[in-house]
Amino acid sequence: MIEFKNVSKVYPNGTYGLKDVNVRIDDGEFVFVLGASGAGKSTFLKLIMHEEKVTSGELVVNGFSLAGLKQREVPKLRRSMGIVFQDFRLIPSMNVYDNVAFALRVTDTPYREIRKRVPFVLDLVGLIHKAKNMPNELSGGEQQRVALARALVNKPALIIADEPTGNIDPEMSMEIVDMLDSINKVGTTILMVTHEHELIRRYDHRVITIEGGSILSDRPDWRDAR
Ligand code: ADP
Ligand code: ADP
Task: Report pLDDT digits (tens) over 49-85.
Answer: 999 999 999 999 999 999 889 999 999 999 999 999 9
Asked whether 30 and 204 are in contact (CB, 8 A), the reply is no
Phi-psi region of 187 (alpha: psi -120 to 50; beta: other; left: phi over 0): left
Q: Which atom of ligand 1 is nearest to the CA of 15?
A: 26
Q: What pLDDT is recorded for position 220?
A: 67
Q: Which atom of ligand 1 is nearest to the CA of 44?
A: 6
Q: Which helix (H) or strand (E) holds 7?
A: strand 2-10
Determine the distance separating the centroid of ligand 2 and the alpha carbon of 141, expressed in angstroms: 9
Ligand 2, atom 15: closest residue by C-alpha: 138
pLDDT on residue 219: 82
What CATH number has the domain spanning 26-51+75-225? Answer: 3.40.50.300
Q: CA-to-CA distance for 112 and 124, rounded, in angstroms?
A: 19
Q: Are 10 and 17 in contact (CB under 8 A)?
A: yes
Sequence-distant contacts of 180-187: CB under 8 A, at least 24 apart: 180/30, 180/148, 181/30, 183/148, 183/152, 183/159, 184/28, 184/30, 187/27, 187/28
Question: In which region does residue 23 sit, left (phi positive, over 0), alpha (psi from -120 to 50) or beta (all else)?
Answer: beta
Nearest atom in ligand 2 to the alpha carbon of residue 130 is 16
Q: Are 133 and 95 in contact (CB under 8 A)?
A: yes
Per residue in 162-181, pLDDT (tens digit) is: 999 999 988 889 999 999 99
Sheet holding 158-162, edge to edge: 81-84, 158-162, 189-194, 30-34, 206-211, 214-219
pTM: 0.86
**What is the structure's pLDDT at 197?**
87
For residue 151, the model assigns a pLDDT of 96
Does the complex come out with an ipTM higher than 0.90? no
* SS3 at position 125: coil
- Dihedral, CA of residue 124, residue 196, residue 40 and residue 28, to nearest 10: -40
- In DSSP terms, 192 is beta-bridged to 32, 161
Residue 169 CA, ligand 2 centroid: distance in Å:
13
Distance separating alpha carbons of residues 206 and 48, to the nearest angstrom: 18
Phi, psi of 118 (to 5 degrees): -60, -50
Across 46-101, the runs of DSSP E, i.e. the strands, are: 56-61, 64-65, 81-84
Burial bucket for residue 136 (CB in 10 Å: 0-12, 13-18, 19+): exposed
Residue 226: its pLDDT value, please? 46
Residue 221 confidence (pLDDT): 53
Give the residue, by CA position, lying nearest to ligand 1 atom 19.
17
Mutate to test the pocket of ligand 2, among 139, 143, 171, 175 (most ligand atoms within 8 A of CB): 139
Q: Is the dihedral of CA 65, 66, 70, 75 positive or negative?
A: positive
Residue 39 in contact with ligand 1 by CB distance below 6 A: yes
Residues of the chain falling short of pLDDT 70: 220-226
- Looking from the CA of residue 168, the nearest atom of ligand 2 is 3
